[in-house]
Structure 1
């Protein structure tokens, strides 16, 4: 028995987005607001969250909530889990976008840094997905987007390993839950112009200009693929080709440009 075709969430339903104040997360918030969805915005910076919420309300006429939370902290995760599992205020769309990068090599990083990094990308995404599924499955309706990376298909340290877990998990979850009305998609952008690499302190000139994407296109294609029921979305044709090549070429050829500080 094949799964039914996914039905786009109607305008007026609620989307919760982590890492929502900048970059890809902010663009998900903007495009979902443009589609008429109310928003729950999650990030660490309370003042920046409030500014973003007011901007989106004024521009798109939707309602917003904000949750200031550090998603590497158990208390922060618990606050978001509580919102996702509130039966009186259902969340129809979850976007697990919060993330960070580590500039140095694995052996040079403090293990506490690596542990927080793994928690954010893997454990937190798993916990929030589990929380959101409770209501979605009971309603036979929901969408979950896990922002991964093309790094998931490349040998690039613990970041790649974490994103590979997220892709594998999303593929399984989509297979398991699509027939019950919940679509799960791992969106895998390549290098994208956001604050992400700046916060890492990475020299962006190391990466060729043709490899850089705009967040608007990443999110637009990711949302469309999620609505189509796809388990994995790789925005843009160039990165589809690169990820396909990565499956057959030797690791040393597909590891990508080195990370270098500014």
Structure 2
């Protein structure tokens, strides 16, 4: 009697379960006939499903309905600071150095070298950052707590949302601190810099004791930034240029 492995049986059952849930959907794809085609089929199915969900959410937002999807204003010139680095007047030398450093690190994360998304241009992320605990950086905790409110209030050069080969990266400038973090493909690195040490940025994403604080700050900053995005209450439609 032919006996199949436990892994193979689980795989077949998983396929059947997936098909039972998807059978009535418009984006069901034909089942592959060989194991070699399974990976390609799974990728195509995922992409088709993602497109269908995106279309569904888009239609709901266009109709004015609330949805759980947030759209970040990547490169949107209507967002203060997006489309060019804007520096307010009256900055101290330390604040200018800190802001320049964090904008440079933001650019490095957005456009990394081909060999790794965490290295960036000229290894800037490695050369100009160091791991640190939030509790060991004076003012870091206060900066994380204040970041969502700073984005909400806005102002010249406060927020940048950029996208490139390295994913989606947000940069927030506060009065005496700056925050840079990637949100896609993963939420890391998370960098913070302060005027008290304006030549170095601290990597804080691995601080286990401050995970709730760090994750909460990142989530709230993203939520505030998404208010400027399509479907958000602060979204401003682009003005069509005269042809």
Q: Does the pair score TM above 0.5?
A: no
Range into which the TM-score falls when normalised by the shorter chain: under 0.3
Q: TM-score, normalised by structure 2?
A: 0.26
Quick check: which one's helix share is greater? 1
